[in-house]
Chain A
Amino acid sequence: MPNGLDKPETTLEKIERMDRRIVFLAIAITIILPLIWPLGLPIGVSPQVDDFHEAIESIPDGSVVLFPNDYDPASKAELYPMTVAILHHFFKEDRNLKVIGLGLFPAGPPLLQKAFEEVAVDQYGAEYGKDFVNLGYKEGREIVMASMGESIPQTFPTDFFGTSIDSLPIMQGIKNYSDIAILVNVSAGYPGTKEWVQQVVSVFDVLMVSGTTGVSAPEYYPYYNSGQLAGMLEGLKGAAEYETLIEEQGIATSGMDAQSLGHLVIILFIIAGNVLFILNKRNKNRDRGGRF
């Protein structure tokens, strides 16, 4: 018998050991329903998100922004909405910012390219090679970051599509980090924010902000506290807060109701799991007491 006694399982024990596919179904329904019928809960803005926004506001018009998008489809759910929101901020007010994108995850650059096309080109009429560029992917992780400190054109002789960067107006006069006003990193882990801080912020003294997945965000708080990161966005929640701040409600905002209910259900699961655990333990002890 599963309870170790010669008694049949009680209902409570059965619930505690129920088929986990019931849990799967519960979580799926809780998340899907508010996506179909949204609740429209108001979204507050955290101080780190405010700081992120401020940092981008603080650079002069016409500056060059380095925009490494270090993620792949595994974290697209959290980071793609973030990329879109950040691009809105770059191009919304006619600040003439020059955005140099790249990606240190092999599957990153096509996602970045899609965001560039959907936001920069379609909504703001920005021009490839003049207002923004996608340098594509480069293997080597920290080596790439360190190497760009010496020379960006030497590290990235061509863009994502194989075009020589000498032929792109945006890259004229760009040598290394001293030509970059701010490093805006969207990061899913290694290589990403931690390595940019270690190899670039601390060595070349570059202003940096980071948008990151919920999983890696807690790890980067020491950098935010020490000022190595001027601002931070945490996961889909960070993206939604940013959308609120720049008044461009998008996919992240529309997911926040589902996020709310999802958290609530998980918390209920934790509570239910523990209540059942305590009740069953108590019952078991009582049975033992009766027996011996």
Chain B
Amino acid sequence: MARRSIPTAIAFFFGAMMVVNYFVPWGWFSDRANQVQEWGLIVVAFAYILGALNVMRVHGHKIQRKEEDWRFSIVTIITMVVMLSFGLMPEHWAIGGMERGSPFLWMFDNMYVPMMATMYSLLAFFIASAAFRAFKVRSLEATLLAVTAVIVMIGAVPLGGILLPGSMELRTWIMETLQNVGKRGIMIGVALGAISTSLKIILGIERPYGRD
């Protein structure tokens, strides 16, 4: 019983504080609500550290059981430990801190940045291949989608203005009006859904943090 009711009570307390703060945004109560918000950002930070522990555990298991590609898992664990050590060293040490020139930022600039940027840039190739293979105009709906996409693409670039004069203005009109209608509809729909889900969570009807 307590297992079930404690998290529900906690969610209610924290959620209700936020809601009431909108109605009573002054004085003592507002200070308390703000304090509670601060607590929230601290708890989420812990969740990230839990996530990192999990990554370590998964790769540790892989190495232990010598699963497929276990040698690469050693790379993950070593770099994680190196990054953590450099990052958590005090600033006044020669190789500590996060200033430019520190080993921590050097690893960020020369490893994290290029790899993440490149991973996402692979999507340029996959979207090109999808355009060729999967973008088939089979119905009126699909045609509308394809025609809009083409106008938006051509109107977005300088070449469009040369190949199809007026395409930039047409794109602007589509973005501001024709496509915006659908987006506004979705936005209103999503807002209604989000409000009702949030109310359900605060009142304990829905419990996304887990149930017994």
Contacts and interface: CB of A to CB of B under 8 A. Distances in A.
Interface of A: 20, 23-24, 26-28, 31, 41-44, 46-48, 72-77, 107, 110-111, 113-114, 117, 138-141, 143-144, 146-147, 150-151, 154-155, 160-162, 203, 217-219, 221-222, 224-225, 234, 237, 256-257, 259-267, 269-270, 272-274, 277
Given A143-B41, A270-B149, 16 more contacts: A46-B172, A74-B120, A139-B41, A140-B45, A141-B44, A143-B44, A218-B175, A218-B183, A219-B183, A221-B180, A234-B156, A260-B158, A260-B159, A266-B127, A269-B135, A270-B146
Contacts of A272: 132
Contact of B99 (A43, A138, A161): A161
Given A75-B120, A140-B44, A221-B175, A266 B128 contact: yes
Interface in B14-48: 18, 22, 30-31, 33-34, 37-38, 40-41, 44-45, 48
B68 interface: no
Interface stretch (B55-63, B78-86, B104-112, B204-212): B104-112
B100 interface: yes
A7 B131 CA distance: 28
Contacts of A237: 156-157
A111 to B, nearest CB: 8
B117 A24 contact: no
A144 B41 contact: yes
24 contacts: A43-B158, A46-B172, A73-B113, A74-B119, A113-B100, A139-B48, A143-B41, A147-B38, A150-B34, A150-B37, A161-B97, A161-B99, A162-B91, A218-B180, A221-B183, A225-B184, A237-B156, A256-B158, A263-B157, A270-B149, A272-B132, A273-B132, A274-B135, A274-B137
B179 to A, nearest CB: 6
A57 B166 CA distance: 28
A234 to B, nearest CB: 8
A267 B150 contact: yes
Contacts of A41: 157-159, 162
B116 A261 contact: no
A168 to B, nearest CB: 16
A110 B125 contact: no
A114 to B, nearest CB: 8
B154 interface: yes
Given A41-B162, A269-B132, A150 B30 contact: yes
B98 interface: yes
Q: Closest 4 interchain pairs by CB? A: A140-B41, A260-B159, A41-B158, A73-B116
Interface in B129-165: 129, 131-137, 146, 149-150, 153-154, 156-163
A14 to B, nearest CB: 14
Nearest to B120: A74
Contacts of A259: 156-157
A173 B71 CA distance: 54
A27 B128 contact: yes
Contacts of A225: 176, 180, 184
Contacts of B38: 147, 154-155
A277 B108 contact: no
Contacts of B162: 41
B136 A107 contact: no
Contact of A147 (B41, B45, B119, B184): B41
A150 B179 CA distance: 37
- A20, A257, A270: most-surrounded residue (chain B CB, <10 A): A270
Contacts of A27: 124-125, 128
A111 B108 CA distance: 10
A154 B136 contact: no
A257 B154 CA distance: 13
Contacts of B121: 77
B168 A270 contact: no
Given A140-B41, A277-B136, A270 B159 contact: no
B74 interface: no
- A76, A147, A261: most-surrounded residue (chain B CB, <10 A): A147
- A28, A42, A225: most-surrounded residue (chain B CB, <10 A): A225
